[in-house]
Chains A and B, each alone.
Chain A
Amino acid sequence: MSGYRPFIGLEIHVELATKSKMFCGCCADHFHKEPNTQTCPVCLGLPGALPVPNKKAIDWTVFLGLVLGCRINKHSYFERKQYFYPDLPKGFQISQYERPFCFKGWFDEVNITRVHLEEDTGKLIHRKIEGEKVTLIDFNRCGVPLVEIVTEPEIKSAEHAKEWLKKLQRVIRSLSISDCDMEKGSMRLEANVSVSKNGKLPSYKVELKNINSFRFVEKAIEFEIQRQTELFEKGQKIEQETRGFESDKGVTYLQRSKEEAFEYRYFPEPDIPPIVFTDGELDKIRKQIPELPEEKRQRFVKEYSLNEQEADYFVSNPSAAQYFEVLYLEKNFNLDFRETARLIINKKIDWENISPADFKAEVAVLQEGGLSDQVELAKAAKIVVDGNPKAVADYRKGKTNAVGFLVGQMMQKTKVDPNLARQELLKILE
């Protein structure tokens, strides 16, 4: 650019898909529920109510940390992060500071500083009611377990940030611990951006908040790098501050200056005893780590000679991947891997509705050409329809899969292209 190098670090919050909240037994699924209908004295912050941690949330945090290559603090504890805000009923958030569950990780060539566990806050809605500005608060979301992932400032560009985050999202989704969806708010982002000319990490960083899509991450960071570079070129100083992102204008704006920064006064949470892990427990969690998307993609490319796009398709569609691999399990199928992949990806064979055995049969027919004469096709189709009243009735009831069964029946009797067979059958059935 102009000799200024950006330093970008990311903070990602992920809502865990546990059944209950982090410190109480309230339902954690808060999407589209009537306001303040899923609260209890604990998550509402009523005097006297005490927090009791959700074991699954802790296990999943460690699980995620291990997947992200982190070291685990075998002796860990929660802390109180104190500040006042209407969405924070206790006046502090139970979070982690000195000893997070996970630290010093590594994912897709970026160092991860820490992965820790905390509770979510309530939701604020800003409105104007009868000319007066009000803020409405719903505590249904308050207390839902939230994992925070913090990276070192090693992200190189706005585009890198976007790509890295997409990969992270894919991995987290593959673990089935969160639907990690930015639109639903189960994945939230903050970016810390600074620039420097001398290649050294600057002493300040600007926190960007209120970014709720991958596209906006890229735009916000791009804008911010530009804004900071321009300020430096004018000879101005930049201090620690928090900025929001206005998506329609594509600009960042000041939210909190350094002087207004919260001072959190962390101290160990006295209501929750420390959490201690044994080596045995950590091994057990480690063993549950599945094949990760990147590993799978590489394996599909290597083992099956697929290209990147084809491998990507199977990584993004786990059921297709499973079907594909089952086809080759019995070693009685020798269609070229890439051919099979194409048949599945392009849905040339209706693989979702037929068994792998039937799939193999259809392939065999395709390979040998098969019946194509219209009259013969129509005859064969009629025989099958007459001979299978139940399947026909099912189809008429709305079970469209039944036609697949009839195709199979046709193919058992004669060599025929499955698509042509289907066409004929449907002519009769409609």
Chain B
Amino acid sequence: MKTTKISPQKVRQVAKLARFTLTDNEIHKFQGQLETILEHFETLGKVQVEDVEATYQTTGIKNACRDDKRQHCSLTQKEALQNAPNTQKGYFKVKGILPEN
């Protein structure tokens, strides 16, 4: 385990990745909290994990797939849009963004 010091810059970067707009106060608060939490987690660095496979799932299930069939599960357009704050003629609407692709 490298360090439990997290710079404010790193906190800002993480907030950006998480799509949060944080005030300076909040950055400072999270910095402190994350450092405290990670300090508690330092013990993890001492465990021998060489040759240990990671566990991502506990079921042991493999190949849980479905056949290529169309299900009658679709939502109507109305249902799909029913919770949207902004819509326009069947589309979801957001403030204009620069086109990328």
Inter-chain contacts of A34 with B (CB < 8 A): 77, 90
Residue of B nearest to A273 (CB): B61
A356 is an interface residue with CB less than 8 A from chain B: no
Interface residues on A, range: 35 or more
B-contact bits for A133-144, CB 8 A (1 contact / 0 none): 111111100000
Complex CA gap A27/B70 in Å reads 6
Contacting chain A: which of B28-36, B43-51, B91-99? B91-99
Query: Closest A-chain residue to B64, C-beta based?
Result: A273
Scan residues 138-186 of chain A and give those whose CB is less than 8 A from a CB of chain B: 138-139
A-B CB contacts (within 8 Å), total count? 138
CB distance from B11 to the nearest CB of A (A): 15
Pick the interface stretch among A37-45, A101-109, A362-370, A421-429: A37-45
Contact at A56–B67, with CB atoms within 8 Å? Answer: yes
Chain B proximity mask over A20-37: 1 for CB below 8 Å, otherwise 0: 100011110000001111
Once the chains are docked, how many angstroms separate the CA of A40 from the CA of B63?
Answer: 23
Residue of B nearest to A267 (CB): B56
Docked CA distance A25–B67 (Å): 9
Q: Smallest Cβ distance from A299 to chain B, in angstroms?
A: 32
Kindly state whether residue B68 has any CB partner on chain A within 8 Å.
Answer: yes
Q: Is B81 an interface residue (CB 8 A)?
A: yes
What residues of chain B lie closer than 8 Å to A124, measured between beta carbons?
97, 99
Return A148 CB to nearest CB of chain B, in Å: 14
A34-77 contacts to B (CB < 8 Å):
34-41, 44, 52-58, 77
Tell me which residues across on chain B come within 8 A of A357, comparing CB atoms.
none
Separation of A57 and B70 alpha carbons in the complex (Å): 14
On chain A, the residues within 8 Å of B81 by CB distance are 36
**In the complex, A275 Cα to B17 Cα: how many Å?**
30
Q: Which residues of B contact A55 (CB under 8 A)?
A: 65-68
Q: Is the CB of A24 within 8 A of B73?
A: yes
A202 in the interface, Cβ–Cβ < 8 Å?
Answer: no
Interface string of B62-94 (1 = CB under 8 A from A): 111111111101111100110000001111111
Return the chain A residue nearest B56 by Cβ: A268
CA distance A19 to B80 in the complex (A): 21
B88-A20 in contact (CB<8A): no
A-B pairs, 7 with minimum CB distance: A25-B71, A133-B96, A56-B68, A136-B91, A55-B65, A273-B61, A137-B92
Interface residues of A (CB under 8 A from B): 18-20, 24-27, 34-41, 44, 52-58, 77, 82, 84-86, 91, 124-129, 132-139, 209-210, 244, 255-256, 263, 265, 268, 270, 272-276
Pairs across A and B, CB under 8 Å, 5 listed: A37-B76, A44-B80, A57-B68, A77-B56, A276-B62
